[in-house]
Amino acid sequence: MEKVININLKIWRQKGPKAKGNFETYKLNGISGDTSFLEMLDILNEKLINEGQEPIVFDHDCREGICGMCSLYINGHPHGPDEDITTCQLHMRKFKDGETITIEPWRSAGFPVIRDLMVDRQAFDKIIQAGGYVSVNTGGVPDANAIPIPKAKADEAMDAASCIGCGACVAACKNGSAMLFVSAKVSQLALLPQGRIEAARRAKAMVAKMDELGFGNCTNTMACEQECPKNISISNIARMNREFISAKMND
Amino acid sequence: MSTILDAKIPQGPLAEKWTNYKNHQKLVNPANKRRLDVIVVGTGLAGASAAASLGEMGFNVLNFCIQDSPRRAHSIAAQGGINAAKNYQNDGDSVYRLFYDTIKGGDYRAREGNVYRLAEVANSIIDQCVAQGVPFAREYGGLLDNRSFGGAQVSRTFYAKGQTGQQLLLGAYSALSRQVNKGSVKLYTRYEMLDLVIIDGRARGIIARNLVTGKVERFAAHAVVIGTGGYGNAFFLSTNAMASNGSAAAQCYRRGAYFGNPCFAQIHPTCIPVHGEFQSKLTLMSESLRNDGRIWVPKKKEDAEAIRAGKLKPTQIKEEDRDYYLERRYPAFGNLVPRDVASRAAKERCDAGFGVGSTGLAVYLDFSEAINRLGLKAVEARYGNLFQMYEKIVDDNPYKTPMMIYPAIHYTMGGIWVDYELMTTISGLFAIGEANFSDHGANRLGASALMQGLADGYFVLPYTIQNYLADQIRVPRFSVDLPEFEAAEKEVNDKIARLMSIKGKRSVDSIHKELGLIMWDYVGMGRTKESLETALEKLKEVKKEFWTNVRIPGEANTLNVELEKALRVADFLEIGYLMALDGLNRNESCGGHFREEYQTPEGEAMRDDENYSYAACWKYTGEDKEPELVKEPLEYEFIVRQQRNYKA
């Protein structure tokens, strides 16, 4: 029953942010279909270490699809060919025997390469720091049930809040736009009464920071929604645009 | 030599202790707060909430994490929920009941005063999170929804789908981000703490390595807070994230902080079973699934054998041939017994030959009854993301075939010893969240980790640390050129140089896996005197192997993931040893610590309150020297301890 495959890997290697990178090819035999994609890279790294070479650097941590640390542009898709999952949840059963798999880092002006497949995503933190919060201090807040929230609104906010900040949307976008990421946070908080109060201020501050950091604009190709491992909807972008325009009109 | 450990529990009735403390503690005025620096290591629920709250209060905070963003700390992966005694469901909940369930769930190995405070501040956490915009699940009337978790007979768990940890962490992260924007918190991402700096007996800074440049740097502060999580990855395979580690705790331990109850590790009953030797981690399936899922194995051995051989499917086993062993053994709590009880029961069935899956090390978690009762849609709404995760990993549809699960290491109740103020045995060094030896005693109840992490970070530490800092307002900022910093940095650099110079034959992971297997086989779910003694011997060998035969490619003065891993494994070797030593000392079974010699005829854990009613604290005595045991007696003034009973 168990599927075992041999694969060829074409992996981007780059010493540092300013170094010139190139593809290296590797061969791996006897990979079980039940192996996860990152476990396959672990196997390759173990092999490289035993051969006295430097292992491939890639970001990863929780390996259950929630921390947003793993990235990888696999065969032209952020997080690989399977749908609605992150790279760490991708399994080798999705690949064919003899297949050549190309692995690249996120490629975007907003995310410079640190080494090999690891990129710098601090820009996302900076956008959140610009306004992705409700301005309340610890303590002195009302009882949790003081403000009822319609279930549909709460559920919609939860869907937007599911964003894991991995950056696949940026990597998928031909403009390198961060609109899906930014709009998910703007939406979540604009939908809830607690966040509504600062909605206008938040939309302006986050959009301004996004522009400042060199992310591109949205031209509605919908690639971000297609590739998002958490199915964040582009309707959030529409909502953010509404919030932004009405905020500007009131200025 | 006698060392007295003072937990500094405030006087007075249980329900008034925390209020009394707050009424009499020292405070720091706003002008002085600006002059005081606090280092917070870690950005999980405890670290992020503490850093944000301290920043809001006006302290100058330096916050470190090893990930590329504070939002990625492993708290993000908590699924099920967070407990609080709001009694919104009108099912008889109260602060006292939450306190009682928690201390009973921990098998009476935690402090009454601490646990009561935890239960007391839990309600404020829910209020705080809602105010931050955390989208908790709601009812159609617009009010908050709850569900049940193990060890409780009320519904007190608040949740956001199966992603509660994510939403709570993002809430704390947003509060933290707001302070970063204001300038009260300075963030250091991709930095790893490598040592604690002590000046005149007080914690005054850390040595940390910039993981991108490889540069070892010095940071000074008036106080240091450790919120770096647990050490479950000593087992290699666990539900922890790959980089989760116990190194900060180990460094504090070597600098004089006592390590409390290291043997108390939690094995979570519902994880996806191990499948192969290249497996890198185990994935948890939330405890919330036990609200509707029923756990069973075949009643007949021949059925179990046929299933293992692939000749029979679970759906072909008739209802009367299924053994719902938790419902059979524990009628009052059924599938919602605490984690330690559920894990041991699964092991008992598998050891007896009734396990399923190709290895025989799995049991079923079956939703067919719930799907018949509630409909597929309702089950999907409750657990959809968990079912999807299971299907992606196992390639099997849990709506049609029962899930297969098996226990795995999940959480560590042990950790750095702290007093009521969350201060360690080193002045000015505090530990919060999973990193401390905490309020969970010998076993943590589900949905209580999030509660404790946020309680410590939002509502406890920001008060108690002031009681310490109030005496520090005249102390000027420290220079990192002081000899203590220089010496600590040199020690770190020497250790790194020693590791790099070994140039052996084995990868860090291969040795880490060897360590993990020893831990699982001899310090795992069922421990004996012999197994623990064997572990201690084997751990010495693997430590020697590591220090003579590890291979770390590349250079130290640049990004080097293998070096990062090696530094962590070096500490896991120490912690693993402490776990085995502590387990050997504790001649009783309690909570997650099950010594097979000490069980009732029905196979339940047998505590020994006469001799082991204490927190076992281990004091470092030097490299390769046996640590010294210091006991903090646990006195129960307010409740009567009983053998835990989940049967009736």
Q: Which residues of A touch B131 (CB under 8 A)?
A: 134, 136, 141-142, 194
Answer with the one of A46, A70, A104 that is the final residue of a domain.
A104
Instruction: Could you please state the CATH topology (level 3) that the domain comprising B483-612 is classified under.
Output: Methane Monooxygenase Hydroxylase; Chain G, domain 1 (1.20.58)
User: Is residue A14 included in any domain, yes or no?
Assistant: yes
In a shared domain, residues A173 and A237: yes
Average pLDDT over residues B62-78: 98
Query: DSSP 3-state helix, strand, coil percentages of chain B (rounded to 5)?
Result: 45, 15, 40
In the A/B pair of chains, how many CB contacts fall below 8 A? Answer: 217
Distance from C-alpha of B120 to C-alpha of B109, rounded to nearest angstrom: 19
Q: Given a cut of 60, is residue B496 above it in pLDDT?
A: yes
In this complex, the residue of A115, A142, A158 whose CB is nearest that of residue B135 is: A158
Residue of B nearest to A56 (CA): B561
The CATH number given to whatever domain includes residue A10 is 3.10.20.30
> 3-state class of B497 per DSSP?
helix
Q: Give the domain ranges of chain B.
A: 268-407, 483-612
Please indicate if any CB of chain A lies within 8 Å of the CB of B136. yes
Q: What is the pLDDT of residues B86-118, one digit of tens each?
A: 999 999 999 999 999 999 999 999 999 999 999
Q: What is the pLDDT of residues B253-273, one digit of tens each?
A: 999 999 999 999 999 999 999
pTM over cut 0.80: yes
> 3-state class of B166 per DSSP?
helix
Whole-number pLDDT of residue B358: 87
Contact criterion met (CB < 8 Å) for B49 and A138: yes
Q: How far is CA A232 from CA A220, A228, B295, B363, in A?
A: 14, 6, 34, 35
Q: Please, which residues have CB within 8 angstroms of residue B462's CB and are 6 or more apart in sequence?
A: A138, B50, B53, B54, B57
Whole-number pLDDT of residue B1: 45
Count of domains for chain A: 2
Is the distance from CB of B133 to CB of B76 less than 8 angstroms?
no
In a shared domain, residues A128 and A241: yes
Average pLDDT over residues B14-21: 97
Average pLDDT over residues B45-58: 98
| Alpha carbon of A147: minimum distance to chain B alpha carbons (Å) | 8
Is the distance from CB of B106 to CB of B591 less than 8 angstroms?
yes
In a shared domain, residues A10 and A41: yes
- Outline where B461-614 has alpha helix (H): 461-469, 483-502, 508-522, 529-549, 561-585, 609-612
Answer with the one of A104, A134, A160 that is the final residue of a domain.
A104
In a shared domain, residues A240 and A127: yes
User: Is residue A111 included in any domain, yes or no?
Assistant: no
Is the distance from CB of B475 to CB of B222 less than 8 angstroms?
yes
Residues of chain B with pLDDT > 70, as a percent, come to 100
Whole-number pLDDT of residue B2: 53
Q: What is the mean pLDDT of chain B?
A: 96
Q: How confident is the model at residue B644 (pLDDT cuts 50, 70, 90)?
A: confident
In a shared domain, residues A157 and A209: yes
Residue corresponding to tokens 């589900």: B446
Please indicate if any CB of chain A lies within 8 Å of the CB of B553. yes
In a shared domain, residues A68 and A175: no
In a shared domain, residues A127 and A235: yes
In a shared domain, residues A92 and A129: no
Whole-number pLDDT of residue B61: 98
User: Is residue A110 included in any domain, yes or no?
Assistant: no
Answer with the one of A78, A104, A130 that is the final residue of a domain.
A104
Whole-number pLDDT of residue B202: 98
The CATH number given to whatever domain includes residue A190 is 1.10.1060.10
Contact criterion met (CB < 8 Å) for A125 and B69: yes
What range does the domain containing A41 cover?
4-104
Mutation target vs B (from A67, A86, A111, A134; most B CBs, 10 A cutoff): A67
Q: How confident is the model at residue B151 (pLDDT cuts 50, 70, 90)?
A: confident
In a shared domain, residues A143 and A244: yes
Q: What is the pLDDT of residues B446-470, one digit of tens each?
A: 999 999 999 999 999 999 999 999 9
Instruction: Could you please state the CATH topology (level 3) that the domain comprising B268-407 is classified under.
Output: Flavocytochrome C3; Chain A, domain 1 (3.90.700)
In a shared domain, residues A135 and A229: yes
Whole-number pLDDT of residue B275: 83
Contact criterion met (CB < 8 Å) for B138 and A55: no
Whole-number pLDDT of residue A1: 46
Distance from C-alpha of B222 to C-alpha of B34, rounded to nearest angstrom: 12
Q: Given a cut of 70, is residue B159 above it in pLDDT?
A: yes
User: Is residue A68 included in any domain, yes or no?
Assistant: yes
For chain A, 251 residues long, give each residue's pLDDT as a single digit of tens. 468 999 999 999 999 999 999 999 999 999 999 999 999 999 999 999 999 999 999 999 999 999 999 999 999 999 999 999 999 999 999 999 999 999 999 999 999 999 999 999 999 999 999 999 999 999 999 999 999 999 999 999 999 999 999 999 999 999 999 999 999 999 999 999 999 999 999 999 999 999 999 999 999 999 999 999 999 999 999 999 999 999 999 98
Query: DSSP 3-state helix, strand, coil percentages of chain A (rounded to 5)?
Result: 40, 15, 45
| Alpha carbon of B230: minimum distance to chain A alpha carbons (Å) | 14
Please indicate if any CB of chain B lies within 8 Å of the CB of A140. no
Please indicate if any CB of chain A lies within 8 Å of the CB of B399. no
- Residues of B acting as catalytic residues: 339
Is the distance from CB of B503 to CB of B551 less than 8 angstroms?
yes
Whole-number pLDDT of residue B648: 75
Report the candidate in B90, B84, B159, B168 with the shortest Cα–Cα distance to residue B133: B168
Whole-number pLDDT of residue A3: 85
Mutation target vs B (from A133, A186, A188, A191; most B CBs, 10 A cutoff): A133
Q: What is the pLDDT of residues B568-590, one digit of tens each?
A: 999 999 999 999 999 999 999 99
In this structure, what token pair is assigned to residue B128?
Answer: 């705080």
Distance from C-alpha of A66 to C-alpha of A61, rounded to nearest angstrom: 9
Please indicate if any CB of chain B lies within 8 Å of the CB of A59. yes
Average pLDDT over residues B419-430: 98
Residue of A nearest to B183 (CA): A129
Residues of chain B with pLDDT > 90, as a percent, come to 92
Please indicate if any CB of chain B lies within 8 Å of the CB of A128. yes
Q: What is the pLDDT of residues B363-389, one digit of tens each?
A: 999 999 999 999 999 999 888 888 998
User: Is residue A109 included in any domain, yes or no?
Assistant: no
Residue of A nearest to B283 (CA): A64
Whole-number pLDDT of residue B149: 86
Q: How confident is the model at residue B288 (pLDDT cuts 50, 70, 90)?
A: confident
Task: Give contacts of B 237-256 with A, CB under 8 A.
Answer: 241-243
